[in-house]
């Protein structure tokens, strides 16, 4: 598993701290390098082991940054960053999560008022100290106060897209510990919830001590929160990681229990009770002969080693973790109606991507190469159209879109996949679509997305866009940004019925900051007969890999491959787009 995300995060922290100290230019360079490392298909840790020159192959990475990446990979820290952290001991992540507070503000408030944490910030704002600082006023102070509550609640949970690569690394690390017989992630991260409270990991072993020792020795660990005989918790890079250790005979039971969700487990337990069985984290027990219930392991143990065995003991097939949200999955399993969920390999292309024609970072050709590398059959280029919500000249005019169609056709001649000419048009507050009809007609794919007026009820607006004869896909339908804004309210049932009627697909935007639609909405949409498109909204080839998060979100919505537009073959896709 690549450590690009982690390295990018460090460089971003570097940039923030430099910016807080009013350093010019450098922060921009660090951010650019971070973004390129994050999106790089190459394993930057591997490059670092080959030396600085290899790291400099990544675009935007010069001598200074390359040497820091190598230093980090070799020693586990960057001295200059450690010094900056000591000089500015602020909780940058928490403070900058307050809307309107950037790294510069954090620096100023630290040097002027000693603000280090969100609590300090709130105290200072309430005491009226912030409005006294040069460059601030009563209005800024009030804004900060208003935004603290939201930031505080938002900061409790990490994005799946940040936590999951981290979880995968903990799991891989523990899997290499000789005493560990089985290792699995559990909890919300195994269910692929869009946000994660903590990273739960479970190990089956006959030598708990060895596993816990190895865990607390994990080089990534910053603080050990607790270390007992059967569980341990630590903090690393702002994540809390909870380890539980069980004997192999009880691994399946513990995995089932600690995967949750709580509601799923309650429904499962009730089903067991109806059968004179008891389900808990130690196994499934036949308690028909047991009176008192104070021993958790009382009764005849009929399952516990595997998760399949746990479900089987209560008369059910194994239920995929993404479905375990108590949305009817236990009844469906009992009836033999579990869908065969879509898998990442079923996806044959991406229908929402950007290039440097709008705000993407790469050429059409480079994006196409990224899609070829993923083994796709097709890729739609859907740069932003100009219109409401597009600032700074990002969006393309109708004339530019026409030029782009020619360029897409030309590149299509040279590449192994089918390139589709598309656009991401803006859905106005009234449901209008921001591109001329003749251009829309000439395009293969029209994605229409809301980018402005992202509050209140947006159902009518989306339905109006769906009724537009040229629209094929509704992009990120609610416009939500996780931990930042909730987006428009949508009656998914109504929107999905309209989408089904008009042959329009509803997107799962796989960008970890969005995951929009979410799993619950996908389930409603599919039941109403709609088709889903799992798109990445990639702005560079590397983030085509976000499809992973979209596919698992689709699975949370019970989607099978034939519910997903871009799991279909090119001919079938074209039929959908043409009709
Ligand atoms: P999170 O961490 O907030 O994203 O959500 P989870 O689901 O990972 O919750 P967490 O870490 O508190 O616990 C992991 C799993 O363990 C949870 O999904 C179900 C199970 N579990 C934990 N505490 C309880 C409990 O008190 N009752 C039941 N039935 N299950 C529990
Ligand atoms: Ca958890
Ligand atoms: Ca936990
Ligand atoms: Zn978009």
Are 138 and 238 in a shared domain?
no
Query: Is 110's C-beta closer than 6 angstroms to any atom of ligand 1?
Result: no
The first and second tokens of residue 131, run together, are 């409005």
**Which residue has its alpha carbon closest to ligand 1 atom 15?**
258
What is the band of 1 on the pLDDT scale with cuts at 50, 70, 90? very low
Element (H, E) at 515: none
Ligand nearest to the CA of 257: 1
Q: What angle do CA 187, 193, 194 make, to 5 degrees?
A: 140
Residue 353: DSSP 8-state: B
Chain-wide mean pLDDT for the chain?
A: 94
Q: How far apart are the two ends of the chain, measured CA to CA in Å?
A: 41
Phi first, then psi: what are they for 276, rounded to 5°? 60, 30
Are 133 and 207 in a shared domain?
no
Ligand nearest to the CA of 258: 1
Residue 102 lies in a domain: yes
Domain boundary among 246, 263, 282: 246
Ligand nearest to the CA of 196: 1
Ligand nearest to the CA of 509: 4
Are 149 and 162 in a shared domain?
no
Here the CATH number for the domain that contains residue 291 is 3.30.210.10
Q: Which of 235, 257, 236 is nearest to 244 (CA)?
A: 257
**Res 257 pLDDT > 50:** yes
Residue 212 alpha carbon to ligand 3 centre in Å: 16
Query: Is 238's C-beta closer than 6 angstroms to any atom of ligand 1?
Result: no
What is the band of 84 on the pLDDT scale with cuts at 50, 70, 90? very high
User: Domain range holding 501?
Assistant: 344-578
pLDDT digits (tens, 9 = 90+) for 514-551: 999 999 999 999 999 999 999 999 999 999 999 999 99
Neighbours of 7 (CB within 10 A): 23
The first and second tokens of residue 388, run together, are 């409401």
- b/e sequence 165-191, b meaning 16+ C-beta within 10 Å: bbbebbbebbeebebbbbbbbbbbbbb
Residue 326 alpha carbon to ligand 1 centre in Å: 14
The first and second tokens of residue 222, run together, are 């910053």
CA 308 to CA 120: how far, in whole Å?
Answer: 50
Residue 339 lies in a domain: no
Are 469 and 482 in a shared domain?
yes
C-beta separation of 480 from 487 below 8 A: yes
Element (H, E) at 93: helix 92-96
C-beta separation of 65 from 36 below 8 A: no
Owner of token pair 């989607």 = 559
Query: Is 200's C-beta closer than 6 angstroms to any atom of ligand 1?
Result: yes
C-beta separation of 550 from 510 below 8 A: yes
**Which residue has its alpha carbon closest to ligand 1 atom 16?**
258
Q: How many Å is the Cα radius of gyration of the chain?
A: 26
Query: Is 231's C-beta closer than 6 angstroms to any atom of ligand 1?
Result: no
CA 228 to CA 65: how far, in whole Å?
Answer: 40
CA 94 to CA 363: how far, in whole Å?
Answer: 36
Query: Is 197's C-beta closer than 6 angstroms to any atom of ligand 1?
Result: yes
At residue 43, the pLDDT reads 87
What is the band of 149 on the pLDDT scale with cuts at 50, 70, 90? confident
Instruction: Summarize the confidence of residues 361-381 as an average pLDDT.
Output: 97
Query: Is 409's C-beta closer than 6 angstroms to any atom of ligand 1?
Result: no
DSSP string, 94-124: HHHTSTT--HHHHHHHHHHH---SHHHHHHH
Are 231 and 257 in a shared domain?
no
The first and second tokens of residue 313, run together, are 């003991």
Residue 537 alpha carbon to ligand 4 centre in Å: 6
**Res 491 pLDDT > 90:** yes
Are 69 and 32 in a shared domain?
yes
DSSP string, 438-467: HHHHH-SEEEEE--S--SSB-HHHHHHHHH
Q: Give 94 or 488, the one with higher predicted confidence.
A: 488
pLDDT digits (tens, 9 = 90+) for 392-442: 678 999 999 999 999 999 999 999 999 999 999 999 999 999 899 999 999
**Res 482 pLDDT > 60:** yes
Element (H, E) at 277: strand 277-280
Phi first, then psi: what are they for 419, rounded to 5°? -95, 130
Are 211 and 97 in a shared domain?
no
Closest ligand 1 atom to 266 CA: 29
CA 76 to CA 27: how far, in whole Å?
Answer: 22
Strand, coil or helix: 26: helix
Residue 55 alpha carbon to ligand 4 centre in Å: 31
**Which residue has its alpha carbon closest to ligand 1 atom 9?**
187
Ligand nearest to the CA of 267: 1
Residue 196 alpha carbon to ligand 3 centre in Å: 10
CA 32 to CA 376: how far, in whole Å?
Answer: 28
Residue 321 alpha carbon to ligand 2 centre in Å: 13
Mutate to test the pocket of ligand 1, among 195, 199, 231, 260 (most ligand atoms within 8 A of CB): 260
Closest ligand 1 atom to 189 CA: 8
Residue 187 alpha carbon to ligand 2 centre in Å: 4
Are 149 and 166 in a shared domain?
no
Are 217 and 256 in a shared domain?
no
Are 238 and 282 in a shared domain?
no
The first and second tokens of residue 499, run together, are 């989408």
The first and second tokens of residue 304, run together, are 């516990």
At residue 392, the pLDDT reads 67
What is the band of 154 on the pLDDT scale with cuts at 50, 70, 90? low
Who surrounds ion ligand 4 at CB < 5 A?
Answer: 449
Domain boundary among 273, 306, 334: 334
Here the CATH number for the domain that contains residue 235 is 3.30.460.10
Closest ligand 1 atom to 196 CA: 4
**276: cis peptide before it, omega within 30°?**
no
CA 427 to CA 460: how far, in whole Å?
Answer: 11
Instruction: Summarize the confidence of residues 127-154 as an average pLDDT.
Output: 86
Residue 341: DSSP 8-state: B
At residue 293, the pLDDT reads 67
**Which residue has its alpha carbon closest to ligand 1 atom 18?**
260
Query: What does each C-alpha distance from 139 to 98, 106, 130, 144, 561 come to in angstroms?
Result: 15, 17, 10, 9, 52
Residue 536 lies in a domain: yes
Closest ligand 1 atom to 242 CA: 11
The bridge status of strand 180-186 relative to strand 199-205 is antiparallel
**Which residue has its alpha carbon closest to ligand 1 atom 19?**
260
What is the band of 5 on the pLDDT scale with cuts at 50, 70, 90? confident
C-beta separation of 136 from 128 below 8 A: no
The bridge status of strand 199-205 relative to strand 239-246 is parallel
Which distant-in-sequence residues (6+ apart) come within 8 Å of 128 by Cβ?
Answer: 141
Instruction: Summarize the confidence of residues 251-260 as an average pLDDT.
Output: 98
Domain boundary among 334, 353, 380: 334
Query: Is 258's C-beta closer than 6 angstroms to any atom of ligand 1?
Result: yes
Structural domains counted in the chain: 4
Residue 187 alpha carbon to ligand 1 centre in Å: 6
Here the CATH number for the domain that contains residue 91 is 1.10.150.110
Here the CATH number for the domain that contains residue 434 is 3.20.20.140
Owner of token pair 């998760």 = 307
Q: Give 105 or 156, the one with higher predicted confidence.
A: 105
C-beta separation of 494 from 474 below 8 A: no
From 125-139, 301-315, 505-519, the region with the lowest mean pLDDT: 125-139
Are 464 and 510 in a shared domain?
yes
Q: Count of alpha carbons within 13 Å of 414, Cβ hemisphere only? A: 9
Are 512 and 442 in a shared domain?
yes
Query: Is 261's C-beta closer than 6 angstroms to any atom of ligand 1?
Result: yes
């Amino acid at each position: 598993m690549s450590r690009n995300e982690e390295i990018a995060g460090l460089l971003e922290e570097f940039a923030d701290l430099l910016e807080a100290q009013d350093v010019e230019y450098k922060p921009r360079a660090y951010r650019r390098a971070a973004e390129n490392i994050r999106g790089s298909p190459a394993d930057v840790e591997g490059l670092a082991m080959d030396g600085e020159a290899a790291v400099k192959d990544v675009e935007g990475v010069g001598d200074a940054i390359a040497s820091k990446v190598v230093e980090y990979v070799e020693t586990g820290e960057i001295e200059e960053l450690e010094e900056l952290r000591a000089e500015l001991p602020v909780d940058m992540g928490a403070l900058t999560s307050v809307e309107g507070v950037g790294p510069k503000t954090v620096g100023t408030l630290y040097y002027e008022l000693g603000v280090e944490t969100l609590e300090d910030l709130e105290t200072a704002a309430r005491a009226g100290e912030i409005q006294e600082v040069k460059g601030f006023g009563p209005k800024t102070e009030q804004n900060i106060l208003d935004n603290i509550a939201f930031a505080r609640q938002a900061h409790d949970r990490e994005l799946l897209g940040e936590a999951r690569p981290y979880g995968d690394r903990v799991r891989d690390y523990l899997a290499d510990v000789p005493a560990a017989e089985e290792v699995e992630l559990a909890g919300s991260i195994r269910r692929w919830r869009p946000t994660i409270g903590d990273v739960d990991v479970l190990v089956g072993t006959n030598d708990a001590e060895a596993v816990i020792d190895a865990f607390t020795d994990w080089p990534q660990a910053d603080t050990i929160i607790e270390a007992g005989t059967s569980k341990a918790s630590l903090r690393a890079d702002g994540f809390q990681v909870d380890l539980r250790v069980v004997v192999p005979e009880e691994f399946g039971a513990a995995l089932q229990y600690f995967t949750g969700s709580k509601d799923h487990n309650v429904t499962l337990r009730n089903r067991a009770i109806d059968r004179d069985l008891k389900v808990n984290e130690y196994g499934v027990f036949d308690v028909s002969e047991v009176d008192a219930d104070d021993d958790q392991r009382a009764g005849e143990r009929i399952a516990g080693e595997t998760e399949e065995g746990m479900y089987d003991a209560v008369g059910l097939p194994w239920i995929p973790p993404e479905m375990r949200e108590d949305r009817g999955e236990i009844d469906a399993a009992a009836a033999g109606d579990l869908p065969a969920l879509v898998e990442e390999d079923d996806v044959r292309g991406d229908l929402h991507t950007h290039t440097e024609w709008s705000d993407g970072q790469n050429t059409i050709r480079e994006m196409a190469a990224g899609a070829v590398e993923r083994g796709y059959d097709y890729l739609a280029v859907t740069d932003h159209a100009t219109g409401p919500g597009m600032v700074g000249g990002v969006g393309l005019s109708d004339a530019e879109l026409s030029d782009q169609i020619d360029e897409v056709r030309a590149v299509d001649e040279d590449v192994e996949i089918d390139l589709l000419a598309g656009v991401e048009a803006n859905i106005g507050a009234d449901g209008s679509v921001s591109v001329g009809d003749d251009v829309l007609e000439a395009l293969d794919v029209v994605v229409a997305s809301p980018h402005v007026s992202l509050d209140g009820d947006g159902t009518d607006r989306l339905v109006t866009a769906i009724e537009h004869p040229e629209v094929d896909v509704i992009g990120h339908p609610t416009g939500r940004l996780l931990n930042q804004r909730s987006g428009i309210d949508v009656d998914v049932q109504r929107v999905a019925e309209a989408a089904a009627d008009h042959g329009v697909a509803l997107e799962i935007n796989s960008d970890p900051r969005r995951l929009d639609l979410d799993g619950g909405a996908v389930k409603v949409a599919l039941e109403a007969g709609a088709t889903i498109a799992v798109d990445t909204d990639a702005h560079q080839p590397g983030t085509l890999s976000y499809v992973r998060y979209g596919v698992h979100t689709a699975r949370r919505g019970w989607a099978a491959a034939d519910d997903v537009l871009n799991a279909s073959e090119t001919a079938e896709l074209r039929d959908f787009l043409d009709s």
